[in-house]
Amino acid sequence: MQWIKAITFDFWGTLVDVDTSGETAMGDLLGSVGLNGLDAREMYLRWDAATVRRYRSGRWRPYVEWAALGLRDVLDPLGVEFDEVEARRRAEAFVSTMTALARPHPEVPTIISALKNRYPLMPITNMDDAYFELNPFKAEFEQFLTAQQAGAFKPSAIIFAKAIERLGVDAANILHVSLSQFADLEGAMPMGMKVAWINRGRENRGQFTPEPLYEFNDLDGLAAVLSL
């Protein structure tokens, strides 16, 4: 794979299990407002979808602010209404738990350790700097790029262009590794980057989503292709 000069990654979900930590964070929140009977995983996924819709609806602002709006979107219909200040406070606690507790998927640490000996590596994340810093696995990377630093969320060309600039490598020589169709396949590929889709959820590719160079169920597939 001599054409690969650098590898970038989506972090949340691709490398670390944010769904499990997000479920924990949502369970804590639901318990605090008397909604213990609800399915925490389902409510976490509702919040995640609401937050993505929110941050794709306007210009960049801190992720935690969109997260607060996402919480209001899913909780207001259930009779739990937060004002702006309380929603922000709840979102800060929620996102802190979600990001701090997310642990690497089982195959990830060994593969990242091997890749570090071959390529420059860079996570590209939509998370705010402060919350990304809370995750212990972040320490495995010498460099990273957040939406806060770029002033734009994936799939914006702005954040991918910033990553390419920082790496100092032609886009065609960067392999981007991610599980997200809308944020990463549809963001990185138009910039000329090659993409390995980590399809952990065994999803069908969207009708208008471009075909990635590779598709794997987890990072073991990437390791096999790169002969790690």
Question: 166-177, pLDDT tens digit by residue?
Answer: 999 999 999 999
DSSP letter at 59?
S
Check whether the bond before 136 is cis (ω within 30° of 0): no
From CA 142, how far away is CA 51, in angstroms rounded? Answer: 29
End-to-end CA distance of the chain: 11
The pLDDT of residue 34 is 95
Average pLDDT over residues 77-106: 97
- Tell me what pLDDT residue 228 has: 84
Does residue 215 sit in helix, strand or coil?
A: strand
106 confidence band (pLDDT: 50, 70, 90): very high
Across the range 45-70, mean pLDDT stands at 96
Q: Which burial class, exposed, middle or buried, applies to 227 when counting CB atoms under 10 A from its CB (0-12, 13-18, 19+)?
A: exposed
Measured CA to CA, the distance from residue 60 to residue 3 in angstroms comes to 33
Task: Quote the pTM value.
Answer: 0.95
Going along the chain from its start, the domains and CATH numbers come out as: 6-17+103-225 (3.40.50.1000), 18-101 (1.10.150)
Q: What is the dihedral of CA 133, 143, 184, 168, to 10 degrees?
A: 160
What's the mean per-residue pLDDT of the chain? 96
pLDDT tens digits, 184-200: 999 999 999 999 999 99
